[in-house]
Structure 1
Amino acid sequence: MNCPRDWPEPIIRVQSLSESGIDTIPERYVKPPQARPSSAATTSSVPNIPLIDLGGIYDDNLRESTLKHISDACREGGFFQIVNHGVPPELMDRAREVWREFFHQPMEVKQAYANSPTTYEGYGSRLGVEKGAILDWSDYYFLHYLPCNLRDFNKWPALPNALREVITEYSEQVVRLGGVLLKVMSINLGLSEDYLQNAFGGNDVGACLRVNFYPKCPQPDLTLGLSPHSDPGGMTFLLPDTDVPGLQVRNGDGWITVKPAPHSIIVNIGDQIQVLSNATYKSVEHRVIVNSAQERVSLAYFYNPKSDLLIQPAKELVTPDRPALYPAMTFDEYRLYIRTKGPKGKSQLGES
C-alpha cells in the first residue's frame, strides 16, 4: 500500500468556503443521514469524561486513589481530562492563540505550507486519498516535533512571529507529560514502570501536532468537523477550545459531548496502547461537531512509538485464557492504512 504524491481532487479550503458567505454546504461535505450529528442516538446519560487531578500522583496520601482513577478511565472509557498537569496555563492559552492567528493569515501565507499525502506535514484540508470521499468540515496544520531528524522549523509557520518559539515550549511540556503518563499506565498494567516507555523507543519516541481549525458552518447538522475514528498512535493530548464545545466521545450507542474544565488537557488512549495492553486499555472512537456561530481551534498532540519498532501485546499480558489479540506491526505500517483510507471508525483494528 503506497501513498500517492498528491490529492485525488483539487483542494478547497473549508475556511474559504465558510468566509464566502454560502448558506448551503457543498454536497461533498454532507454526511449520510445515519452519520449526521442530528441523527438518533447522539446523546448519552453520562455527563462528562472523568476529571483527574494529576497532582495526586506526587502526594503519598492521594497517589493510590489517583492511580486507580487513571486506571479506571483507561479501562472503561479511554478518555479523561487532567488538571494540575504542570503545563503553565498562560502557555496553553498562547499556544492556542498563535494558531488561531495563523489560520487568519492571508491565504497566500498559508498556501506556502500546503501539504501532500506523503507526509501530511503542513497546511491541509482533507484526510485520506479516496477519490470522491465525503469530506470533513475542517482545515488543519500538521507538524513533527520528535524524532529530532523530522523536526524542520522551515515547515513550521513563520507567522505569527511567536509561533515557533511558543510551540517549541509547549511541545517540551507535552513530551514530559507523555513520559509521566506512560509510567503511570505501566504501573497500572502490572508491568515494570518503564515498560511502555521502552516499548515506545525509550527517549526515541515520536511526537507530532495536528492543529484543527473548524470554521463556522451554515448547516452544522449535516456534516462533521472530524468523522468518527480512534487515534492510530500511542496517546493523544488535546488542548481544547474551552469556549466552543465540539469533541464527542462514543459511549455505547451514543455520544458524550465533552465539556472541558478550564486549562485541562484531554487525554485519550491510542490504538498502539490498545495493542500493547492486549486490549486491557481501549482506544475509543470520537468525532467533532461544528458550529454555525463560532469557529473552533484545538491542538491534538500525538505521543507515539518510534515508527520502525514492532508493536505487539506485552508478553506479561498474554495468557492461555487471553491470547495475543493483534499481530506484531510497526507504527509506520499501521498509520499508512490511516493515511490512505482516512478516518473509518476502528476498522484498522479489525473492529466495525
Structure 2
Amino acid sequence: MTTQLEVETVTDLVKDATAAPSMHNAQPWKFRYVTEERLLMLRADPERAMPRSDPGNRALHIGCGAAVLNLRVAAAHAGLTLQTRLLPDPKDPLLLAEVRLAAASGPLRDEEGLARLRPAVHQRHTSRHPFADRDVPEAVRTALAEAATGEGATLLFPGLWHAETVLELVHDAESRDVLDPERREDLIRWTRLGDEADTAVDGVPEYAFGPRKRDGRAPLRDFAARRPVADRGSATFERTPHLALLSTPGDTPTDWLHAGQALERVLLEATSAGLATSLTSHPLESPELRWLARDPAIGTGKVQMVLRLGYGPQGPATPRRPVRDVLEIV
C-alpha cells in the first residue's frame, strides 16, 4: 500500500526531474512508480519526438538523461540513494531508465556532491539574451569540465579557430532551414505564440525567445522562424561568445543518456557559479555538420551539445507539464 509520504516523495522527485532541459522543451518523458518494488521507471514518449530535427531520437535521449541527473540530485538532497540502470530491457527501447529508491544507510559517497546542486534545479533557465563581455574564470571552467568528466563525458572549451568553425556551422544550419521549410516543422510545432504562450505547459513560449539578434555572433536559434512577435525588440549580442562542446566517446543510446546527465550536471554547476547558459544542437542535427564540429586537434569523440556560457540574465522559466500528467503510481 502506498503511503501518503511516499506519494509526496516520489511526486517531488519527479517534479525536479521534469525541470530538466529538452529540445524545444518538448519534455519527452513519462514516469511510472511501482510501489511494491520502490521502482521508478522513466520511459521515452514517442509522441513528443521530432522526426525531422531528431530522426534518431538522440536529443530525446539527452533530455531524458538530464531528467535522470535531476532525479539523482533531488534524491541526494532528500537523503535517499538511487540504484540506477540505464536501458535495462533490450526488448523495450522506450524504457530508458529504472531507478530504485532506498533510504541512505550511510554517507552518500558517490552522490554527495549532488545535493548542493538542488537549488540550481529550478534556478536554471535557458537564456537567449546578450551576455556581458567578460571572461569565465579558469577555476569555473575547470569545475564545469570536472562535472562532465564525472558523468563519462568531456567538456571542451574550443580555441579561437575551432570556435569560429562552430559558429560557421551554426550559420550553415540556419541557412539550410531557410532553404528547406520542412526543417522548420518541428520548431513551429513546439513554439507558443500569442495567447497560447500564457497557457502553455510545454514548448517554447514567445516570452522565452529573447530579443532578435541585431548584431553579434552568439549561436542562437530564432524560434520566431520569421513569424511576427509583438514587442520582442532586438539587441546586440557578443561578438566572441564563450562556447563549450560536450562530447562522449561513443554515439549509442547509452552514450546519449550519459551525455544528458553530464549536460545537466554542467548546467547546474554553471548556474550555481552565477553563469547564464543557453544550448544549441542546431549544427548537430545534420550528420555532415556534426562531424565538422568535433575537436580538430584529436578528431575523436562525438559532439552531443554546444553550450554558450556567460554573465547575463538567467532567462525566464519555461512551462512544465503538471506532475500528474507525466507520473503514474501503481
* TM-score interval, smaller chain: under 0.3
TM-score, reference length from structure 1: 0.26
TM-score, reference length from structure 2: 0.28
Query: Which protein is richer in helix relative to its size?
Result: 2
